[in-house]
Amino acid sequence: MRRIFALAAVAALLTGCAQLPRSGAIGVGPAVQVEATDDYLYYSPSLPSPGDSQQQIVTGFLSAGNGPQNDYEVARSYLASSFKVDWSASDEVLVQQGATAFELVDDSTARVELQVSATIDANGVYEAQTGDVKRYLDFELVQESGEWRISKAPNLTVLISPNFSVLFKPYQVYFYDSNHLSLVPDIRWFPSRTSTATELMQALLNGPRPWMREALAWDIPEGTTLSLNSVTITDGVANVDFSDELLAADSQALRHIQAQVKATLLQIPSVERVRITVNRNELGIDEIQVPMPQVYAPAPVTLDSDGLFLSGKTAPVYLPASSAAMVKGAREFALDSSSKKLGFVTELGLYQVNLIAIDKSPSLIDLRSGLLAPSWDNRGYIWSVGSAKNSSWRVFDTEGNAKRIDTSVLTGSATTVFGVSPDGARIAALHTGAKSGIWLYPILRDDAGMPLKLGNGVPQLNTFGEPLSVSWADAGHLAALVTDPSGSVRPTVMTIGGTTRVYTAVPGARQIVANLSGPFLFVLKDDGTLLQSRSSVWSEVQLSVRTMHFAGH
* DSSP label of 192: S
465: Cβ–Cβ under 8 A, 6 or more apart, which residues? 482, 483, 484, 485, 490, 492
The verdict on 203 and 261 lying in the same domain is yes
The verdict on 155 and 181 lying in the same domain is no
The verdict on 20 and 147 lying in the same domain is yes
Helix axes 196-206, 251-265, angle to 10 degrees: 140
Q: Out of 167, 186, 212, pick the residue that ends a domain.
A: 167
The verdict on 403 and 268 lying in the same domain is no
The verdict on 105 and 40 lying in the same domain is yes
296 inside domain: no
Mean pLDDT by 10 residues, the chain (553 residues): 36 32 36 37 82 96 88 95 94 90 94 94 92 91 97 95 89 96 95 87 96 96 92 95 96 96 95 94 87 78 92 79 88 92 96 85 94 96 94 94 96 96 97 95 96 96 90 95 95 94 95 87 96 88 95 84
- Residues 215 and 186: their CA atoms lie apart, in Å, by 12
The verdict on 355 and 381 lying in the same domain is yes
pLDDT at 42: 58
416: Cβ–Cβ under 8 A, 6 or more apart, which residues? 372, 387, 430, 431, 432
293 inside domain: no
Asked whether 125 and 497 are in contact (CB, 8 A), the reply is: yes
* DSSP label of 371: B
CATH code, 316 = 2.130.10.10
Please compute, for residue 146, the number of CA atoms within 13 A of its CA located in the half-sphere on the CB side. Answer: 3
290 inside domain: no
The verdict on 331 and 440 lying in the same domain is yes
Residue 230, domain extent: 177-282
pLDDT at 43: 72
Asked whether 327 and 344 are in contact (CB, 8 A), the reply is: yes
CATH code, 189 = 3.30.300
Go through 93-105 and write b for each residue having 16 or more CB atoms within 10 A of its CB, e for each that does not: bbbbeeebebbbe
536 inside domain: yes
The verdict on 143 and 184 lying in the same domain is no
380: Cβ–Cβ under 8 A, 6 or more apart, which residues? 336, 341, 397, 398
- Residue 155 identity: N
The verdict on 152 and 191 lying in the same domain is no
The verdict on 329 and 446 lying in the same domain is yes
128 inside domain: yes
- Residue 398 identity: T
Asked whether 363 and 356 are in contact (CB, 8 A), the reply is: no
- Residues 429 and 478: their CA atoms lie apart, in Å, by 11
287 inside domain: no
The verdict on 405 and 543 lying in the same domain is yes
Q: Which of 213, 242, 249, 245 has its CA nearest to residue 226?
A: 242
Instruction: Find the helix or strand (DSSP H, E) in which 332 lies.
Output: strand 332-335
Please compute, for residue 441, the number of CA atoms within 13 A of its CA located in the half-sphere on the CB side. Answer: 26
172 inside domain: no
SS (H, E, C) 181-214: CCEEEEEEEEECCCCHHHHHHHHHHHCCCHHHHH
- Can you tell me whether residue 390 is helix, strand or coil? coil
- Residues 51 and 551: their CA atoms lie apart, in Å, by 65
395 inside domain: yes
Asked whether 100 and 112 are in contact (CB, 8 A), the reply is: yes
- Residues 120 and 165: their CA atoms lie apart, in Å, by 13
pLDDT at 494: 95
289: Cβ–Cβ under 8 A, 6 or more apart, which residues? none
406: Cβ–Cβ under 8 A, 6 or more apart, which residues? 452, 453, 454
Collect contacts of 393-396 with beta carbons under 8 A, ≥24 apart. 393/454, 394/366, 395/450, 395/451, 396/350, 396/352, 396/365, 396/366
Tally of domains in the chain: 3
First to last CA, the chain: 63
The verdict on 524 and 413 lying in the same domain is yes
pTM here is: 0.88
* DSSP label of 526: T
Q: Out of 167, 198, 231, pick the residue that ends a domain.
A: 167
Please compute, for residue 221, the number of CA atoms within 13 A of its CA located in the half-sphere on the CB side. Answer: 16
303: Cβ–Cβ under 8 A, 6 or more apart, which residues? 309, 327, 330, 332, 333, 545, 546, 547, 548
